[in-house]
Structure 1
């Protein structure tokens, strides 16, 4: 029985193959790297196309627009310094000490509507619609639309049917956040005219940690319907803490010195048209209300 002949490989060729960095991968199949591995994208709504462009290709460079932005920010910075010389928020300190009512948002022209943003379940494939315009006398805000609670047929979304309006985050120079300081007040004051539907009032405050960015303080807003205006006063102590629509067990009061935005959400699962007219949104100080917080705060490690 004859053995197969073994071909001799020169030692120099064998050593060069060992030092070759591609030598361990020659026998392996080529690795398929998906495009999404280049840039870690965030959450994508079902049914929306994926954005394959890298982030450096989405930037639009415009020298004239950049020059306008620098001029605007330096003007805002100069206004900040001049306001601080007068007092908090550009008002004398005696006015803050004696102030009992303050109007934060009022609708007296088309420019006032630019401070608000609308959203609905159309972002996830739903059928609800929401619109915002001025009232008949151009002195109110008229929010209207149609609510549809049927979920989209994408195989992933189970619930749908919401419409909301939320104020934009106020900014100062160089796009820094500006917080509303309502620490001198204890009640939210609204003048509204609705159609009898229950709404949810949501207040977003500044948080220290990133996992708290979806925290909201919510309370119910019941409209009675009819042609008459309704003055609603909701104490801040009644607002309860929620995270992505879920009430939290660990409740604590709202930080009134770092309020970012306020919003109104409709999701009562009653399909059909809706409307809500708002005259102004303000805060006031009710001396008859002495409650600090309406909900029990539990100790995680109570003392024995």
Structure 2
């Protein structure tokens, strides 16, 4: 007689718990997520249409090209394997310790432009134009174009007028991400020749969280104009943290051990032609510069 009572009690308890669970789920938002979650999609500029095609639609299958790519990747893998036996970054240990200057990009010929990409507000419907070509005698790169700050008439974009040049992400074998290690240096060294416009130098480090993927460190590059070259040295301690063009309150020095790219941006709202000629971009170690960070760092737990 006790078994039916136990089964009746267990059945009634199970029914009551299922009712409570059903009532609880009514107050919770539906679990169905949109087609593309906000945290999974890339940043889309205002006015730019959303691309709903799957990523494999952009892949072009070619056997000859695939074999050539495999050969290149295995060659890079071989170099990566034997480079640590020579020294850090494939250099002897004494050369790495005594190195005080390092040229990262030297523009000598059309092949040196393949590591860079350019963009402007024309991608979102603007009217600016930007071009990149090899300078005179194949000894520099010339970045030129026309800046126009008129916003596109799409009803969404309020501001416009920018042109940018950015280095590509370095890749190791099999398209793995590779980084620039500038931890042994403290100053950015450039040799440029501009037209008097102020530019913005942007350094993009590697981030670990998705909300930091648009973080970059910026500083100003003031060109003198005229026919003469100028050597510019900017300490890394002067670069400030910004997120999508907005300067952040929580400032901290840039981590130089993992740098993805460096870029130049023009957005001074002065409509008209512009040009910037770059000879080389490098880093150096200035022993006279002892500054750790030029801006105030807020402490979450200040010392008493």
TM-score, length of structure 2 as denominator length: 0.84
What are the Cα deviations for residues 10-67 of structure 1, in whole angstroms up to 9, with x where unaligned?
Answer: xxxxxxxxxxxxxxxxxxxxxxxxxxx6666655555555545444544433333333
**Residue 188 (structure 2) pairs with residue 188 (structure 1):** yes
Match of 1:234 in 2: 234
- Unaligned segments of structure 1, at least 5 residues: 1-36
* Distance (whole Å) between structure 2 residues aligned to residue 280 and residue 184 of structure 1: 19
Query: More helix per residue: 1 or 2?
Result: 2
Match of 1:285 in 2: 285
3-state SS of 1:65 partner? helix
What are the Cα deviations for residues 254-275 of structure 1, in whole angstroms up to 9, with x where unaligned?
Answer: 1111111100000000000000
The 8 Å contact of residues 39 and 54 in structure 1, kept in 2 or not, is answered as: no
The 5 Å alignment of 1:35-54 reads: 44-54=44-54
* Distance (whole Å) between structure 1 residues aligned to residue 57 and residue 144 of structure 2: 38
Match of 1:96 in 2: 96
* Distance (whole Å) between structure 2 residues aligned to residue 287 and residue 89 of structure 1: 23
The 8 Å contact of residues 47 and 156 in structure 2, kept in 1 or not, is answered as: no
1:123 to partner: Cα distance = 1.0
Change (3 A) 1:198 1:56: closer
Match of 1:298 in 2: 298
3-state SS of 2:138 partner? coil
The 8 Å contact of residues 241 and 247 in structure 1, kept in 2 or not, is answered as: yes
1:175 to partner: Cα distance = 0.9
* Distance (whole Å) between structure 1 residues aligned to residue 59 and residue 220 of structure 2: 42
Match of 2:271 in 1: 271
Change (3 A) 1:258 1:223: same
Match of 1:205 in 2: 205
What are the Cα deviations for residues 136-193 of structure 1, in whole angstroms up to 9, with x where unaligned?
Answer: 1110010000000000000000000000000001101011111111111110000000
Match of 2:64 in 1: 64
Q: CA RMSD for the aligned pairs?
A: 1.9
The 8 Å contact of residues 143 and 276 in structure 1, kept in 2 or not, is answered as: yes
- Pairs aligned (count): 269
* Distance (whole Å) between structure 2 residues aligned to residue 252 and residue 141 of structure 1: 33
3-state SS of 1:234 partner? strand
Change (3 A) 1:188 1:39: closer
The 5 Å alignment of 1:1-304 reads: 44-304=44-304
* Distance (whole Å) between structure 1 residues aligned to residue 301 and residue 261 of structure 2: 34
TM-score, length of structure 1 as denominator length: 0.84
3-state SS of 2:89 partner? helix
3-state SS of 2:73 partner? helix
- Unaligned segments of structure 2, at least 5 residues: 1-33
Change (3 A) 1:67 1:131: same
What are the Cα deviations for residues 247-298 of structure 1, in whole angstroms up to 9, with x where unaligned?
Answer: 1111111111111110000000000000000000001111110011111111
1:101 to partner: Cα distance = 0.7
